Chains A and B, each alone.
Chain A
Amino acid sequence: DQQVKQNSPSLSVQEGRISILNCDYTNSMFDYFLWYKKYPAEGPTFLISISSIKDKNEDGRFTVFLNKSAKHLSLHIVPSQPGDSAVYFCAAVLIQGAQKLVFGQGTRLTINP
Chain B
Amino acid sequence: GAVVSQHPSWVICKSGTSVKIECRSLDFQATTMFWYRQFPKQSLMLMATSNEGSKATYEQGVEKDKFLINHASLTLSTLTVTSAHPEDSSFYICSASLVPDTQYFGPGTRLTVL
- Using a CB–CB cutoff of 8 Å, the interface residues on chain A facing chain B are 31-32, 34, 36, 41-46, 49, 51, 89, 93, 95, 98-106
Residues of B that sit less than 8 Å from A by CB: 4, 6, 32, 34, 42-46, 49, 51, 57, 91, 93, 95, 97, 100-108, 110
Q: What is the interface of chain B mostly: helix, strand, loop, or mixed?
A: strand
Q: Which residues of A contact B57 (CB under 8 A)?
A: 98
Task: Write the nearest CB–CB distance from A95 to chain B, whole angstroms.
Answer: 5
A43 to B92, CA, bound (A): 9
A99 to B103, CA, bound (A): 9
- Nearest-CB residue, chain B, relative to A43: B105
Chain A residue numbers with a CB within 8 Å of B106 are 43
- Assess whether A89 is in contact with B101, with CB atoms less than 8 Å apart: no
Count: A-B pairs, CB below 8 Å: 61
Chain A proximity of B16: nearest CB distance (Å): 26
Q: A98-B49, A100-B49 are in contact. Are A46 and B104 (CB under 8 A)?
A: yes
- Once the chains are docked, how many angstroms separate the CA of A95 from the CA of B34? 14
The answer to whether A41 and B103 have CB atoms under 8 Å apart is: no
Of B6, B44, B49, B110, which one neighbours A44 at CB under 8 angstroms?
B44
Kindly state the separation between the CA atoms of A104 and B42 in the bound complex, as whole angstroms.
9
Enumerate chain B residues within 8 angstroms of A42, measured Cβ to Cβ.
Answer: 107-108
| A101 CB contact (under 8 Å) in B4, B103, B110 | B103
Question: Shortest CB–CB separation between residue A87 and chain B, in angstroms?
Answer: 9
Flag if A99 contacts B32 (CB, 8 Å).
yes
Contact A49–B101 (Cβ < 8 Å): yes
A32 touching B100, Cβ below 8 Å: yes
- In the complex the two chains form, is A100's CB within 8 Å of B34's CB? yes
Q: A93–B101 contact, CB under 8 A?
A: yes
**Judging by beta carbons under 8 Å apart, are B108 and A101 in contact?**
no
User: Given A34-B102, A89-B43, A105-B42, 11 more contacts at CB 8 Å?
Assistant: A34-B103, A42-B108, A43-B108, A44-B44, A46-B103, A98-B57, A99-B97, A100-B34, A100-B49, A101-B46, A101-B103
A43-B93, A45-B105 known; A31 and B100 CB under 8 Å? yes
